[in-house]
Amino acid sequence: MFHREGSRIIMNSFILAAIITVLAEYKISIEWLKMLIQITTLVLLLLVLQFFRNPKRTTPINEKHLISPVDGKVVIVEEVFEKEYFKDTRLQVSIFMSPLNVHVTRYAMSGTVKFSKYHPGQYLVAWHPKSSELNERTTIVLENESFGEILYRQIAGAVARRIVNYAQEGTQVVQGEDAGFIKFGSRVDLFLPLNTQLNVKVNDVVKGGVQTIAHIA
C-alpha cells in the first residue's frame, strides 16, 4: 500500500522508468551500458516506491498512552522552554526519520486539535539543534483529558521540501490515524507535560502507529 501523497510522483516515475528502459533497449548498442542504465532506473523506481509505502498498522488505542507518531530514531530527550505555544518548560522528544523510514505522520493520541499552524523557513539538516525553530515546519496541539495538551512539530530537513499536515483546528482525531506526511526525510518533535513517563530513550528506534513511547499515571 502506498500513501496518497505519493500517487502523482509514483505514476510519473513509472512512466519515466518505462521510457528510459525502452529507449535504452533500442537506442544503445553497447550491452553493458544498456544494462547499467536499465538497472539504475529500476533501483531509482524502487527507492521511490519504498519511500511512499504506507503499511497498514493496528494502533492499540489507549487514552493514557502516547504512541510514536512516526518511524525513526529518538535523537533528543530533554526538558526545554517551548516558546511558540506553551511558553513554559516541556519535555521534548525528537524522532529523526531517514529517507529509508516510513514517512507517514500519525496522531500520537486521540483528542481535539486545538492549534495548527504552518511556518515557512530554512532547510537545515534535521538533526541541527535550531531546526525546530528555523526550518519549515508545522505546529499542532492536541488535547485530551489524560494528558491535557501536547504539541508535535513536523520539521523539514535538508532534503525534505514539502510537509503535508491534515490536522485542522476544532476537529476530533483518533490515535494512530494518518495526520500527514513529510516528503524525503526529516524529524518530528513532541513537547509533553513534565509529568509524562517516557518509555523510550535517546538512540531507541521506534515504530509509528503501534509503539507506546510515553504514558501518564
Catalytic positions = 186
Task: Show Cβ contacts of residue 63 under 8 Å, excluding neighbours closer than 6 positions.
Answer: 109, 110, 144, 145, 146
Distance between first and last Cα of the chain: 36
Burial (0-12, 13-18, 19+ Cβ within 10 Å), 130: exposed
Which grid coordinates belong to 167?
Answer: 490536522
User: 199 φ, ψ to 5°?
Assistant: -105, 5
Distances (CA, A) of 159 to 15, 183, 187, 197, 211: 24, 8, 11, 33, 26
- CA dist., res. 67 & res. 200, Å (int): 11
* Exposure on the CB side of residue 179, measured as CA atoms within 13 A: 33
The C-alpha atoms of residue 90 and residue 141 are separated, in whole angstroms, by 13
